[in-house]
Structure 1
Amino acid sequence: MDGSEEEPVPAAVIAEAVLPGDIRKRLQLMQTDVAERMGVSQQTVARIEKEHHVPERLAAYLRAMGYRLEMFAVRDGERIRLR
């Protein structure tokens, strides 16, 4: 491996799909904490959590071929399916 590819991370999958805000709450972070880490406003974080930023065009493209788009948040051996 030349360093340009990441090795797959074996991860335990959390069975239920969660919203991004649920992950933040589980980590006991406030929206302002995440906003500061991102370098954006708290309102931007609130909008991200509310709008569920899913790439709809890609999802539609995959649906046209009989697939569905699934998104996961992965960290330290944990894999959480987003809805």
Structure 2
Amino acid sequence: MTREKTNICSYSDEEKEKLLLLHKADVLENISESKEKYRKIVSAGIAQWIRDFQNGRIEVNTVDDLKKLIELDIQLQKDEEI
């Protein structure tokens, strides 16, 4: 595939603004997709922790792990609201 070489200076201010907005939209979409994947991982971690706790494989002194997972999930949700 060949690309046409174009000097960015030859773009009008309006075209530059459109390109910048497209780039920002692409970056935000990628971030949103990553956060969605991370939340799935965190949710699975929380579910696994609960199963292990219910099965007696986790003692009460390791509750800090669950707290960290919940805090991470809350932080990811807060970031989505921005």
TM-score relative to the length of structure 2 = 0.27
Please identify which structure carries the higher strand content. 1
Please identify which structure carries the higher helix content. 2
The answer to which structure, 1 or 2, has the higher relative contact order (CA under 8 A, 6+ apart) is 1
User: Which structure is larger by alpha-carbon Rg, 1 or 2?
Assistant: 2
